[in-house]
Amino acid sequence: MLGTKLGGSEMKKYLTLENGDVFVGEACGDLAAEIKGELVFTTNMTGYQENLTDPSYKDQIITFTYPLIGNYGISLGTSQSDQIQASAVVVREMTDDVFHYQSVITLDAFLKQQHIPAISGIDTRQLTKIIRQYGTMKASLTNQPVKATETEAAHEAEIVKSATRSVTDGKENEHVVVVDFGVKSNIVQSLQQRGIDVTVVTPESTFEDISALHPSGILLSNGPGDPQDYGDFLPVIQKLQDHFPIFGICLGHQLLALANGATTYKMTFGHRGSNHPIKDLITGEIYMTAQNHGYAVDIDSVKSSPLEVTAIEVNDKTCEGLQYPGRPVFSVQYHPEAAPGPHDAKPLFDKFIDLMHVNGGVH
């Protein structure tokens, strides 16, 4: 038996991959909804609510490799944005049997509420092996069988264009401007918890717009999609790094690299999960990190840029950290704010604050 029946439904759902493979399972979430998107997997054992609401997962079909999803429900204050960003969910087993005192709604009800379809009762281990072999690919989730040729390309995630907003507490604190490419709420909260005032701006902002806010530092956020789609903002980064301390996270890390002449590429199946080991090339330390990205910085291209590599992923040796020697500018490919994930890298926010103190903001 693959798991708890949700609402007694035995409606079929069909997951059709562009390579022709078809998985038939039980429909859950929004039963009527049908979607197309990019199929990815994450190895997180917990944190499905954070994953689903992470803007970096915008328009992607998320496969959870952990076999049981939904057992602690959905809680208030845990989401990383104001809505589910993923387009669909694939699980081995989804349950309505919730055991957590903070839960306010089941995962299935949460998906239904936001019109997100899901499929359960399939072999997610086999599906993950296919993704690892062929890479992330287009897929469709439908209520009737379809041909693989009907699984059209997923549309590219739109660049975030949210309005500039202030989330300061009104005190005389250090002031960070977060450039929002799809920022997770816990990045902002990680700064606020350290007494930092935060203003979040759109990537349509100019250098003059940001400079006029008199920041102590700039944080380039995470976000969805191909970093090369954000080319219009690269000249802004080039100016900002001449005047302010900068901390780039995930997509922000890739954009810092592009702005300095390095290149990026699409990975075969990316890094998504909370168990990626990183080696700090400066200290020699190894720590576990949370990651969610399908693109990476070409580590060889960094050699012809003014940047230097500061960290690598232990398993595949990909670039995980950069710094600009002589300037208070650095970035990481992973997520130091976790949510979900290990907390090994949280001190990077303190490092950023220390750089702002030393440099006094504009210098």
Catalytic residue numbers read 250, 335, 337
Residue 251 marked in a binding site: yes
Q: Cα-flanking dihedrals φ and ψ of residue 188, to 5°?
A: -60, -45
> Is 228 in contact with 264 (CB distance < 8 Å)?
yes
Residue 216 marked in a binding site: no
Question: How many other CB atoms sit within 10 Å of the CB of residue 362?
Answer: 12
Distance separating the N- and C-terminal Cα atoms of the chain? 64
DSSP-assigned states of every residue in 91-102:
-SEE------TT
Q: Determine the distance from the C-alpha atom of residue 196 to the mean position of all C-alpha atoms in its chain, rounded to a whole number.
A: 23
C-alpha closest to that of 246 among 324, 164, 301, 311: 324
Identify the three-state secondary structure at position 183: coil
C-alpha closest to that of 137 among 126, 118, 153: 153
Question: Encoding tokens for residue 310?
Answer: 């500061």
CA atoms in the 13 A half-sphere facing the CB of 242? 7
Q: Cα-flanking dihedrals φ and ψ of residue 86, to 5°?
A: -65, 155
Report the alpha-carbon angle 41-70-290, nearest 5. 45
Residue 254 marked in a binding site: yes
Are β-strands 264-280 and 286-297 bridged in parallel, bridged antiparallel, or unpaired? Answer: antiparallel
Cα separation of 71 and 243, whole Å? Answer: 48
Question: Encoding tokens for residue 179?
Answer: 């450039």
Residue 294 marked in a binding site: yes
Residue 56 marked in a binding site: yes
Cα separation of 123 and 141, whole Å? Answer: 15
Beta bridge partners of 29: 117
Residue 3 marked in a binding site: no
Residue 275 marked in a binding site: no
Q: What is the dihedral of CA 189, 234, 157, 203, to 10 degrees?
A: 50
Question: How many other CB atoms sit within 10 Å of the CB of residue 110?
Answer: 21
Task: Give binding residues for L-glutamine as ranges.
Answer: 56, 223, 225, 251, 254, 292, 294-295
